[in-house]
């Protein structure tokens, strides 16, 4: 097996080197990608309406594309185009019939969105997964690891058959037909992956855990942590390495890992190699390619054309909605340290699509990003401009100061009289002094955000409530959002926060017998 592992690693190393040699300038890759997308879709209803044939004749097709095609969010894309694809109309915004739709509420919308997943997009995602696997050779990985199974924790692969199409969680769609190179290594296997109940799936994984020699974990870190806790409890272990001694790599995504890392590593005998990934229902966007940074390299020639909108008050209102039709930037025009809202044009028929995430480039001239937040998940009641990235940094500072593990949190703007405050709900299993947490969090936010420090006196204050982590999971279960790619929203506003707050206080009354 050692020889076989070395052979696999050598093959992957060659693959990664070939990928590096083939790279052209980022803007050249993106220009080619856009031309391919326009050419493929020129005969669709969307392509004819926006005259893709004419755009393709222009030498400066990127500029013409930006002039002719408006910016869409999910609602406008669905209302004008995708609703027809859902009714099985062919050639709407991508050639052919869409046979799969990913159900996604993200962390902002309430009803499930139906995101088209075309055959081309599924191939694109599989190709991206293989390239990420190639990149493992850039990390300090023992060759034997490449002979070990990979446990991928996601939604059910038993997709809902709607007659003319299938729908389900994106991770379930991908698990229903794993790539050929992954099948010999894939766990928990087809039978368990089809289980729809989250609790039943975790119970089955735990039951079979002693039979597997897992080397890789893949999934949203909060759900991976719950799974490991269940296995450790069921088998009376000290750490997950007692049952999976060769576990070395964790590929994570979906939410920021740093605030969870302390609690995650308490379940390990030794740290893992961590790789961040950016896989959304709309496409595989980026992955961490090297260990020296947490930033992720954009997939610039894999069926997605990217545009970037500076995330500021000129382009977005206080609710995170786009103002007008702002000028967008290409990969050649972005600057480091600036938050940008991300637009995607994809091989699934999304065109200039506002995905709802904000990203930042740490280095000039390097197409690597970090996810800095959501366009609708920020707080700026009085100019404090508090992003999800700032919130994660604040929570992490509290964890380090108190040796605390925070699994979930959410925050909302609340009006009292004619002033506002930030109302935080923080999930942890330890009893902790709420006033101390409040003070540490407030000070940490001042350190990471100058606007917050400047405008802090304009706020009435911050209010912190400490909850058992189960309260967050109970809420997600009540909403049918437990496990898979579901994430707890970091910012709540309006009706949604009122529902959450009522749920929390109702639960507290029931526990108290009131």
CB 474 within 8 A of CB 507: yes
pLDDT at 456: 85
Per-residue CA distances from 281 to 193, 229, 369, 460 (Å): 18, 28, 18, 39
Indicate whether 107 pLDDT > 50: no
CB 88 within 8 A of CB 81: no
CB 424 within 8 A of CB 463: yes
Indicate whether 71 pLDDT > 90: yes
Domain 381-511 has CATH 3.30.300: yes
**Which sign, positive or negative, has the C-alpha torsion 104, 337, 406, 242?**
positive
Q: How confident is the model at residue 17 (pLDDT cuts 50, 70, 90)?
A: low
Share of the chain above pLDDT 90, in %: 72
pLDDT at 396: 95
Give the separation between CA 193 and CA 513, rounded to whole angstroms.
39
CB 429 within 8 A of CB 408: no
Q: Which residues pair with 466 in a beta bridge?
A: 426
CB 65 within 8 A of CB 51: no
- List the domain boundaries for the chain: 2-15+121-280, 381-511
Q: Residue 464 — φ and ψ, nearest 5°?
A: -120, 130
Cβ contacts of 191 within 8 Å, gap of 6 or more:
none
pLDDT at 194: 95
pLDDT at 93: 98
pLDDT at 19: 55
pLDDT at 320: 85
Distance of CA 279 to the CA centre of its chain: 6
Indicate whether 163 pLDDT > 80: yes
pLDDT at 110: 47
Let me know the angle formed at the C-alpha of 174 by 169 and 178, rounded to the nearest 5 degrees: 150
Q: How confident is the model at residue 234 (pLDDT cuts 50, 70, 90)?
A: very high
Q: Which residues of 450-471 are buried (b: 16+ CB within 10 A; e: fewer)?
A: eebeebbeebbebbbbbbebeb
User: How many other β-carbons are positioned within 10 Å of the β-carbon of residue 144?
Assistant: 18
- Residue 392: both structure tokens together: 């994660």
Q: Using the structure block, give the residue that is written with the tokens 């020129």.
A: 42
Give the separation between CA 330 and CA 351, rounded to whole angstroms.
15
Long-range contacts made by residues 141-145, C-beta under 8 angstroms, separation at least 24? 141/9, 141/248, 141/249, 141/273, 142/5, 142/248, 143/2, 143/5, 143/6, 143/8, 143/9, 144/1, 144/2, 144/5, 144/246, 145/5, 145/215, 145/216, 145/246, 145/248, 145/249
Indicate whether 385 pLDDT > 70: yes
Mean pLDDT, rounded, for 134-154: 91
Share of the chain above pLDDT 70, in %: 94
Top-confidence range, 6-15, 109-118, 429-438:
429-438
Mean pLDDT, rounded, for 39-59: 97
* Segment among 20-34, 133-147, 270-284, 487-501 with least mean pLDDT: 20-34
Write the DSSP symbol of residue 350: -
Indicate whether 236 pLDDT > 70: yes
Helix (H) or strand (E) holding 4, with range, is helix 2-22
Per-residue CA distances from 41 to 35, 48, 114 (Å): 10, 9, 20
- Residue 187: both structure tokens together: 């766990």
Q: Describe the strand order of the beta sheet including 419-427 as a list of residue ranges.
A: 408-416, 419-427, 461-467
Mean pLDDT taken over the chain: 90
Mean pLDDT, rounded, for 267-289: 96
Mean pLDDT, rounded, for 134-145: 89
Indicate whether 409 pLDDT > 90: yes
Let me know the angle formed at the C-alpha of 62 by 58 and 65, rounded to the nearest 5 degrees: 80
pLDDT at 380: 80
The H-assigned helical ranges of 136-270 are: 170-176, 190-193, 198-208, 221-234, 258-265
CB 370 within 8 A of CB 296: yes
Give the separation between CA 163 and CA 73, rounded to whole angstroms.
27
Q: What is the pLDDT of residues 182-215, one digit of tens each?
A: 888 999 999 999 999 999 999 999 999 999 999 9
- Residue 203: both structure tokens together: 């119970």
Give the separation between CA 223 and CA 486, rounded to whole angstroms.
9
pLDDT at 74: 95
Indicate whether 169 pLDDT > 60: yes
User: How many other β-carbons are positioned within 10 Å of the β-carbon of residue 95?
Assistant: 18
Q: How confident is the model at residue 104 (pLDDT cuts 50, 70, 90)?
A: confident
Mean pLDDT, rounded, for 131-147: 90
Top-confidence range, 191-200, 318-327, 341-350:
341-350
Peptide bond into 188 cis (omega under 30): yes
pLDDT at 13: 58
Indicate whether 105 pLDDT > 70: no
Q: What is the pLDDT of residues 423-472, one digit of tens each?
A: 999 999 989 999 999 999 999 999 998 888 888 888 888 999 999 999 99
């Amino acid at each position: 097996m050692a020889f076989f592992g070395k052979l696999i690693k050598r093959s992957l190393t060659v693959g990664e080197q070939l990928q590096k040699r083939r790279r052209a300038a980022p803007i050249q890759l993106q220009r080619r990608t856009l031309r391919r997308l326009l050419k493929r879709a020129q005969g669709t209803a969307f392509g004819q309406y926006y005259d893709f044939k004419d755009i393709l004749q222009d030498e400066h097709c990127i500029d013409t594309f930006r002039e002719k095609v408006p910016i869409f969010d999910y609602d406008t894309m669905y209302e004008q185009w995708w609703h027809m694809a859902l009714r099985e109309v062919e050639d709407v915004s991508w050639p052919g019939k869409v046979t799969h739709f990913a159900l996604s509420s993200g962390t902002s919308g309430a009803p499930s969105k139906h995101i088209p997943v075309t055959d081309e997009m599924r191939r694109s995602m599989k190709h991206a997964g293989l390239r990420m696997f190639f990149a493992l050779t850039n990390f300090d990985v023992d060759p034997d690891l490449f002979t070990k199974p990979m446990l991928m924790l996601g939604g059910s692969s038993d997709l809902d058959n709607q007659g003319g199409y299938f729908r389900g969680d994106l991770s379930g769609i991908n698990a229903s037909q794993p790539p050929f190179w992954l099948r010999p290594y894939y766990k928990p296997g087809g039978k368990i992956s089809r289980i729809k109940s989250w609790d039943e799936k975790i119970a089955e994984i735990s039951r079979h855990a002693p039979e597997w020699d897992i080397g890789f974990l893949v999934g949203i870190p909060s759900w991976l942590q719950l799974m490991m806790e269940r296995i450790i409890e069921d088998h009376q272990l000290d750490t997950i390495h007692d049952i999976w001694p060769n576990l070395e790599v964790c590929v994570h995504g979906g939410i920021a890992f740093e605030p969870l890392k302390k609690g995650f590593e308490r379940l390990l005998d030794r740290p893992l190699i961590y790789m961040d990934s950016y896989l959304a229902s709309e496409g595989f966007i980026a992955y961490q390619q090297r260990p020296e940074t947490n930033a992720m390299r954009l997939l610039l020639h894999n069926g997605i054309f990217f545009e970037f909108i500076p995330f500021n008050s000129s382009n977005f209102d206080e609710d995170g909605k786009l103002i007008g039709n702002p000028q967008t930037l290409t990969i050649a025009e972005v600057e480091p340290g600036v938050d940008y809202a991300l637009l995607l044009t994809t091989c699934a028929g999304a065109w200039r699509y506002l995905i709802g995430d904000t990203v930042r480039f740490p280095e000039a001239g390097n197409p690597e990003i970090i996810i800095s937040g959501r366009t609708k998940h920020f707080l700026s009641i009085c100019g404090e401009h508090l992003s999800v990235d700032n919130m994660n940094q604040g929570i992490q500072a509290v964890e380090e100061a108190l040796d605390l593990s925070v699994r979930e949190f959410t925050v909302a703007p609340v009006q009292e009289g004619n002033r506002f405050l930030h109302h935080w709900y923080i999930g942890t299993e330890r009893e902790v002094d709420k006033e101390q947490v409040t003070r540490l969090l407030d000070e940490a936010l001042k350190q990471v955000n100058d606007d917050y420090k400047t405008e802090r006196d304009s706020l009435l204050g911050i209010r912190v409530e400490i909850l058992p982590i189960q309260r967050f999971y109970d809420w997600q279960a009540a909403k049918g959002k437990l496990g898979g790619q579901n994430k707890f929203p970091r910012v709540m506003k309006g009706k949604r926060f009122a529902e959450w707050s009522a749920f929390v206080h109702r639960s507290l009354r029931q526990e108290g017998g009131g």
